[in-house]
Chains A and B, each alone.
Chain A
Amino acid sequence: MAPEISTGERPPRSYEVVPKTAPDGTPLESDLLEIAMGPQHPSTHGVFRMDVTLDGETVVKLKPVFGYLHRNHEKIAENVSYLGSMPYTDRLDYFCSLTNNWAYALAVEKLAGLQVPERAEYIRIITGELTRLLNHSCAVGFLLQDMGALGTPLMYAFREREKILDLFESLTGARMMCNYMRFGGCRVDLPAGWLEATKEIVGDYGRFLDEFETLLSGNEILMARTQGVGQLSAELAVNAGITGPMLRASGVDYDLRKVDKYGIYDRFSFRVPLGDHGDVFDRYMIRVLEMRESIKILQQALKDIPAGPIIDPKSKLRAFKPKAGEAYGRIECPKGELGFYLISDGGPNPYRYRVRPPSLINLTILEDMCLGHNVADVVIILGSVDIVLGEVDR
């Protein structure tokens, strides 16, 4: 029997406000305290505000406030050509510019019916999985930073990130704003020696993860701070459209690399790690395990990559005008499902350009996860969601 689908109503609050009384029964007339965490707060990973109502140390209400970084990316994209938006997608989730490129290119390819040559598919998978390694290392590093492990774990994560950024720089010319994918392929071919350098870094990555895990996964403080904190049930996660590592930490087996098999993901053998408590610790653990799976994919892809063209000869960069119609393309980016919804009216600019941002939608249940926990836990619950404000506010 399948589990019942949630009705979408708010679950009962895990914490109720009861008037405080002195031992002899006289009311203490204690007050609730309303504080604004952010927009300038080191734990909010950018300009994001949470209006938190506290009963002592306990959260009884939390309202996220967005928009500090809003620049209406969608409107800007409606006024430039299809290709003109490609560099701007880098600025959505600036940690994962290559997967943002990929999601947009995939949507346009669906809209215009372009084919991607095999070598380009391999390059996309290699760069996409490197992005996942980079994002998850940093997400875990930042999470520990939020927990008070100041500096050290994040520096270790950044040391590894730096190596991957060097690879991106030698391939695309930019460390973070890569602007690399094109409709029907990629912009430039791999430089000489790039594959060897990548193989070496990927080969060493497992050792870094072992070291990282020895220091952290069994750490008593980490376990005490994260286990049982910010639990999210599978039903609510599905109903609230949570995607990515957060969804899988709640035990829902839904990974677009397996479900949609976009690109050539069906050729690689890898597993989808699942959590069973849906708490902050599971979200930490899922990211570590996903990195190990990414290494497996990378090793297979680096071994098999064929020679050949890197862009569909039919694809046009200038005067690109897809036929009137619409398409929704989505990929599994490190933070969740990143989708692009495009409508063409036959002109050179999209009539409608919509980004489905995983970071924003993963915040839907932030209040549900925080109720009844301490203020200090709000910081790590938000850290475990892994948001980038460039994508939340667009």
Chain B
Amino acid sequence: METLEQIKARAETAVPGARLEIIRNDSPSAQHSLLVDNAHAFAVAQFLRDDAQLRLDYCSNATGLDWPELELTEKVKVKKLVDGVEKEVEEVKKTKRPGHLEAVYHLYSMALKHGPVILRMRTEDRAEKNHLPSLTPLWRSCEFQEREIFDLYGIVFDGHPDLRRILMWDEFKDFPMRKDYVEPDDYEYEPTPHDEVLEKAKQHRPLSSAVDKDGVK
């Protein structure tokens, strides 16, 4: 298989305007990944799937990641005038990494038996701007996995045919896999729908009228 640099170069020529970035992975696995901008992600994914040399026809794994806002502290050596003499002083530099959510796709080729090519997409933030393009129209295997990411991480996939919660129940609030998720005090409490259900049942089948007509009370 081609190197990730070659794939990146070819994808950038095939999809004009796409911004791709190689994310290095320093662990012994050396599985580096491609970060793609959201506007062109679908086109790049389609290129990866349909290109004759790659033919990544199989999306094995799709998963979400949560990176909350983080304060990085770094020790920097700065030259400073201390009592009129220039000295090298260590200073703690604080930078903020903005929080974001991420979706990761592991792509393989069943036809050519190679892989993985790892594709990543990032949302702008963890609150409202949590939309990403869905890759389910390209790979059906993402259908349940993207639903699961939506369910547990709260990433909204635009273009998904059936985006609902999958593992948690529909009324559930919040996203349990996020790092700042707080468990409720009582899992078991659920308001009983009993009265509502009875009300609905009355509308559905007006019992009294049916009884009246037959003259039995």
Contact = CB atoms under 8 A, between A and B. Distances in A.
Interface of A: 2, 5-10, 66-67, 70, 72, 74-75, 110-113, 236, 238-242, 252, 254, 259, 322-330, 337, 339, 341, 343-344, 352, 354, 356, 360-361, 363-365, 393-394
Contact of B141 (A113, A326, A361): A361
B167 A67 contact: yes
Contacts of B31: 326-328
Contact of B49 (A5, A74, A236, A240): A5
A354 B106 CA distance: 12
A5 B55 contact: yes
Contacts of B61: 328, 339, 341, 354, 356
Contacts of B161: 10
B113 A9 contact: no
Given A5-B57, A8-B138, A239-B58, 14 more contacts: A5-B55, A6-B140, A7-B137, A70-B168, A72-B177, A74-B152, A110-B29, A240-B141, A241-B58, A327-B27, A339-B61, A341-B104, A341-B106, A344-B27
B28 interface: yes
A67 B166 contact: yes
Contacts of A5: 49-50, 55, 57
Give me the 4 closest cross-chain CB pairs, A-B, nearest first.
Answer: A325-B27, A241-B141, A113-B28, A327-B29
Contacts of A325: 25-29
B193 to A, nearest CB: 17
B144 interface: yes
Interface in B103-133: 104, 106, 110-111, 113, 116, 118
Nearest to A361: B141
Contacts of B28: 110-113, 323, 325, 327
Nearest to A242: B141
18 contacts: A5-B55, A8-B139, A67-B165, A72-B176, A74-B152, A110-B27, A112-B28, A238-B110, A240-B139, A240-B141, A241-B59, A241-B140, A324-B27, A327-B25, A328-B31, A341-B106, A360-B144, A363-B144
Contacts of A352: 63, 65
Most buried by A among B49, B137, B144, B161: B144
Interface string B50-62: 1000010111110
A341 B166 contact: no
Given A343-B65, A352-B65, A364-B141, A326 B25 contact: yes
Contacts of A110: 27-29
A111 B63 contact: no
A324 B25 CA distance: 8
A185 B182 CA distance: 37
On chain B, which size bracket covers the interface? 35 or more
Nearest to B61: A356
B29 A365 contact: no
Nearest to B65: A352
Contact of B57 (A111, A113, A238, A326): A238
Contacts of B136: 8
Contact of A259 (B113, B144, B167): B113
A323 B29 CA distance: 11
Contacts of B118: 328
Most buried by B among A325, A337, A360: A325
Contacts of B50: 5
Nearest to A234: B110
Contacts of B27: 110-113, 322-327, 344
Nearest to A70: B167
B32 to A, nearest CB: 10
A239 B167 contact: no
A105 B60 CA distance: 19
B8 to A, nearest CB: 19
A361 B167 contact: no
